Chains A and B, each alone.
Chain A
Amino acid sequence: MTAKIIRWLDGRLALSSIRELAAHKTVPVHSATRWYYFGGITLFLFGIQVVTGTLLLFYYRPTVAEGFDSVRFIVTRVEFGWLIRSIHSWSANLMIFAAFVHMFSVVFTHAYRPPRELTWASGIVLLGLLLGFGFSGYLLPWNQVSYFATKVGTDVAAITPLAGPAIARILRGGDDVGAPTLTRFFALHVMVLPMLTAGLVALHVALVQKNGMSTPPWISPSRVRQMKFFPNFFLREVMVWYGALAVLGGLAAIFPWELGVKADPFASAPAGIRPEWYFLAQFYTLKLIPSHVWVFEGELLGIAGFGALAVCWALIPVWGVNRAGEARMRLVTGAGIFLATYLAIFTVLGYVK
């Protein structure tokens, strides 16, 4: 009977070709193989976000009057609501962390080389979308800290030359953070960003599938053992996912995500207001830049600097590869170490100071 059903499905969905693909897909085994897992962890955590986010949607109400209370209802009244909300928040942070590790592993193993330029580019856009998820989701509980952090965040967006004020206005739905901002951020968080992310994840994974796993340039692909993706690598990946799930459960049970105090737009900003950790380095840098540098406004210069840095980073496959298509390893590794060190130190400083 089962065989009959499989045959029926095979005739319509070409399952045998997928089986064929799975049977022949391999993963190179070398000293940097462990870094391959971080892409999978990011994808797994994204899946967790989709599931927990959908469950939160059953109760969350995206209005200024009800937003905070509905989250409080979720964590205090709904069965296991605290777990779902805590896992959603912790998973979001771990996902962004895993995405950063994945990105730097790609840089240090020089996996951006041809023919993987589009994989790199789609990955960079995906990281931007994940940061967008973080920024938009942070406001949704409508608590004091998230409200003022969003004010600071949209103020920074407003400084961007030319389109900045328009972007800030579109994001806020007015001159200041308020009810329209919450509904816009909600729409972005649960509709726009997920659709874009789902499409890009599909493209990213398809490109990985098409081009195979990259082997670092100092290892000759023809000289490494290959591990079957299914079931050998896949089972290892499942083990890593299970490990990530245990970490998530532990964090959610021992350090439940804080609810805070309901936002009061008329209250003064709480002391030491700062954004989420993944924006701290930029935030702290902007704080350090003097109000005026020569004839330029300090913040404007900072924003322009971040923009230029992001563009340069996204163009690694252009300047990080020579005409023969080989990675300029020293240059790219140096740039990677510089950026990773800057982000780590400034994030810590932003947290401590």
Chain B
Amino acid sequence: MKALLFLLAPALLFGQPAKDTCLECHAALDGAIQRPALLIKDDVHTANGLSCADCHGGDRTSDDPSVAMSKAKGFLGKPSRMAIPQFCAKCHSNPDFMRRFRPQQRVDQFELYKTSVHGKRLAAGDENVATCVDCHSVHDIRAVKDGMSPVYPLHIPDTCGRCHADAKRMAKYGIPTDQLEQYLTSVHWSALAKRGDLSAPQCASCHGNHGAKPPQVESVAAVCGSCHVLFEQLYDKSPHEPVFSASGGGGGCIVCHSNHGIHQPSTAMLVGPNAVCSQCHEPSTTGGKAAERMAGWIDTLGASLKHSDEALARAERYGMEVSEAQARLMDGREDLIKARLALHSFHPEEMHKPIEAGMAIAGETLRAGQAALKEKDFRRLGLAVSALFIAITLAAIWLVLRRLEANGSGYLEAPPRN
């Protein structure tokens, strides 16, 4: 037993949690001063073995508050809003320190922050702007990948919107406050929230996070192009690029697609009462006619593919094997996507190739679907003919049997009962 205790002694000694009088005292207090002690259990810093004194200084081992929170012990207290970025940066800009916890952790957040609109305004004395704790929270700071973190991709729109959708707060900056409202109607939010695609764009994807600032006219296409690569390449070579870049209001992709409230594109953007093309091109002009032609092609291909899909689905419902044609139809849908992509060159002839290929596939798969439906009819006709033949044969056998057994022949009667 003694030997066992001896062996376990180091583990027992080092296994004891270090004394933390900050937590002990603050947890026993009431109101706002108690709050950090209650929140800290969920904090990523706590999970990594850090405690109050690691940020706020002081001596956590002393039971005497005057010693624990003495300047002599390095106590810093609550930092002012102006000092928060540097306060966090003490560790987060120190690669050697950060490497102890996570070797791949970035340490440039503070440098980026200084280049952001938030950072610049704070440096100019505006305490109303966002600092680290406004986005990451304080004392219950969670890792970005934690689903409950305010900077988890799904929560970023709300986190940014807390300030940017607050008209009162934004009044003095003269910037709009409808971005969140618009974003919540967009395809991007739909992909993020409804489809659960965490890589779908949210505020920080386009504006950056620590270095947040609005993209300038010359960089809008590049921002969108960071995901929509091929669209950007075509747009850069298109006749629209120099014109849009020279215009006000952001330029680039947002001229047609807007920025925060980007909706599912359709050919209604090309022709019709709400067409964006008609804002610059009269319908009777070359540009207007080109837009109408391109819209017609896309609509025709879309409708043809839908028609083929319906024919194949109908055949499949009858149990016909059409999986090959259905797989081929996927190629047609891909051609439709390619045509929509080629539209961004704004040269109708660029769309010709995918439209023609898609139409060929639509025709081929429609024929396959129709053939399957025809085959279904043939099978049923064959069944009816076979059933008739079988019925006639059965009737013939029955007649033969009747004739055979007309006078009781074919049966051997049982002997009479006694």
Taking Cβ atoms with an 8 Å cutoff, the residues of A that contact B are 26, 29, 72, 75-76, 82-83, 222-228, 231-232, 235-236, 238-239, 242-243, 245-246, 249-250, 253-256, 258-259, 261
Contacts and interface: CB of A to CB of B under 8 A. Distances in A.
A243 B404 CA distance: 21
B380 to A, nearest CB: 6
A26 B411 CA distance: 9
Contact of B410 (A227, A238, A246, A255): A227
Contacts of B320: 256
A128 to B, nearest CB: 31
Contact of B319 (A235, A249, A250, A258): A258
B11 interface: no
B7 interface: no
Interface stretch (B21-29, B45-53, B395-403): B395-403
A69 to B, nearest CB: 10
B414 A223 contact: yes
Contact of B417 (A223, A235, A238): A223
B390 interface: yes
Nearest to B380: A253
A256 B414 CA distance: 48
Contact of B321 (A224, A225, A256): A256
A225 B413 contact: yes
Given A245-B390, A249-B386, A259 B414 contact: no
Given A76-B324, A231-B410, A246-B390, 18 more contacts: A26-B412, A72-B321, A72-B323, A222-B414, A223-B417, A228-B410, A228-B411, A231-B404, A232-B401, A236-B401, A238-B397, A242-B390, A242-B394, A245-B390, A246-B387, A246-B391, A256-B319, A261-B323
Given A224-B414, A226-B412, A246-B386, A232 B404 contact: yes
Main secondary structure on B side of the interface with A: helix
B397 to A, nearest CB: 5
B395 to A, nearest CB: 10
Given A245-B390, A246-B386, A259-B323, A235 B397 contact: yes
27 contacts: A72-B321, A76-B324, A82-B321, A222-B414, A223-B417, A225-B412, A227-B412, A228-B410, A232-B411, A235-B404, A236-B401, A239-B394, A239-B398, A242-B390, A243-B394, A245-B390, A246-B386, A246-B387, A249-B386, A249-B387, A254-B319, A254-B380, A255-B319, A256-B319, A256-B320, A258-B319, A259-B323
Interface of B: 319-321, 323-324, 379-380, 382-383, 386-387, 390-391, 393-394, 397-398, 400-401, 404-405, 410-415, 417
A223 B393 CA distance: 34
Contact of A232 (B387, B390, B410): B410
A249 B383 contact: yes
A226 B397 CA distance: 20
Contacts of A232: 401, 404-405, 410-411
Nearest to A259: B321
A186 B44 CA distance: 58
A253 B379 contact: yes
B67 to A, nearest CB: 59
Question: Lowest 4 A-B CB distances belong to which pairs?
Answer: A253-B383, A232-B410, A256-B319, A226-B412
B411 A76 contact: no
A82 B410 CA distance: 42
Which of B379, B386, B387, B405: most chain A Cβ within 10 A? Answer: B379
Given A232-B405, A236-B401, A239-B398, A225 B414 contact: yes
Contacts of B386: 246, 249
Nearest to B400: A235
Contact of A225 (B319, B382, B390, B411): B411
Contacts of B391: 246
A129 to B, nearest CB: 30
A234 B401 CA distance: 10
Contacts of A249: 383, 386-387, 390
A202 to B, nearest CB: 27
A29 B154 CA distance: 78
Contact of A250 (B387, B393, B394, B398): B387
A225 B414 CA distance: 5
Contacts of B410: 227-228, 231-232
A231 B412 CA distance: 14
Nearest to A256: B319
